[in-house]
């Protein structure tokens, strides 16, 4: 009778501790990159529906002392990775793998503005108007440029025309039509024979330092 009472009391005491055990536990874990398995420092670990959270250390590790019931859900996140929500059934260790994701942002439009300056040196620029072209009866742009100072036009047997200014190479001359650069990406040379005279209202050539207004690659000058 006495021993039975002791046994019953022992069982009651043991059972009284069970709820306490289910209300407290330590969770330790490591957050890693799913592909490389490298630790992720600075990841945020939050227990959902609470204000409790922590950040992983330089080794990607974290520790949470939870004094509530299990299971619980934690949310793990880091910039550049997809969020991961996992369920923790009991105290212990856990490893969380995050997967890299593409960050989508708002479309960015970059525009540039070229401010034209007054040319104080008249020899650095020269132009021919449409009226002058019509009066002279010029048939192609090569003839227009040939009459300008320091310009040499080369024509191949196939009819291709290129320009040289002050002894420069043809790929050092940029040719623009209505703001569009006509130089080929392959060799950097523009074929003047492809320009229709009907599309022209004026032809201007810029030599020297003013050619930088049109960007790099205009060492010999600019025709537009």
Domain CATH number, residue 45: 2.60.40.1120
Cβ-count burial of 177 within 10 angstroms (0-12 exposed, 13-18 middle, 19+ buried)?
middle
d(CA 223, CA 150): 13
62 and 127 in a single domain? The answer is no
**Which residue, of 41, 65, 98, is where some domain finishes?**
98
Please report whether residue 134 resides in a domain: yes
Chain CA centroid to CA 148, Å: 44
Please report whether residue 9 resides in a domain: no
What range does the domain containing 215 cover?
Answer: 123-223
Q: Is the dihedral of CA 117, 129, 199, 153 positive or negative?
A: negative
User: Tens digit of pLDDT per residue, the chain (224 long)?
Assistant: 444 544 454 444 444 444 444 456 899 999 999 999 999 999 999 999 998 999 999 999 999 999 889 999 999 999 889 999 999 999 999 999 999 886 566 666 655 455 544 444 444 777 777 777 777 777 777 887 877 877 888 888 888 888 888 777 887 888 888 878 888 877 788 888 888 877 777 888 877 666 656 666 667 788 87
d(CA 214, CA 164): 18
Output the pLDDT for position 11.
47
Domain CATH for 210 = 2.170.130.10
């Amino acid at each position: 009778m006495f021993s039975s009472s002791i046994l019953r009391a022992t069982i009651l005491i043991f059972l009284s501790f069970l709820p306490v055990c289910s209300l407290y536990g330590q969770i330790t874990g490591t957050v890693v990159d799913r592909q490389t398995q490298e630790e992720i420092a600075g990841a945020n670990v939050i227990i959902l529906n609470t204000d409790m959270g922590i950040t992983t250390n330089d080794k990607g590790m974290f520790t949470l002392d939870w004094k509530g019931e299990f299971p619980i859900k934690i949310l793990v996140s880091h910039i550049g990775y997809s969020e991961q929500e996992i369920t923790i059934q009991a105290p212990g260790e856990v490893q969380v793998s995050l997967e890299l994701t593409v960050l989508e942002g708002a479309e960015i439009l970059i525009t540039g503005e070229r401010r034209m300056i007054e040319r104080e040196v008249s020899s650095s620029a020269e132009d021919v108007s449409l009226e002058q072209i019509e009066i002279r009866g010029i048939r192609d742009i090569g003839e227009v440029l040939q009459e300008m100072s320091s310009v040499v036009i080369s024509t191949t047997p196939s009819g291709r025309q290129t320009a040289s200014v002050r002894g420069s190479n043809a790929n050092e001359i940029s040719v623009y039509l209505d703001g569009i650069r006509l130089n080929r990406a392959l060799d950097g040379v523009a074929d003047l024979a492809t320009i229709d005279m009907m599309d022209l209202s004026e032809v201007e050539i810029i030599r020297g330092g003013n050619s930088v207004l049109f960007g790099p690659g205009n060492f010999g000058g600019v025709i537009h």
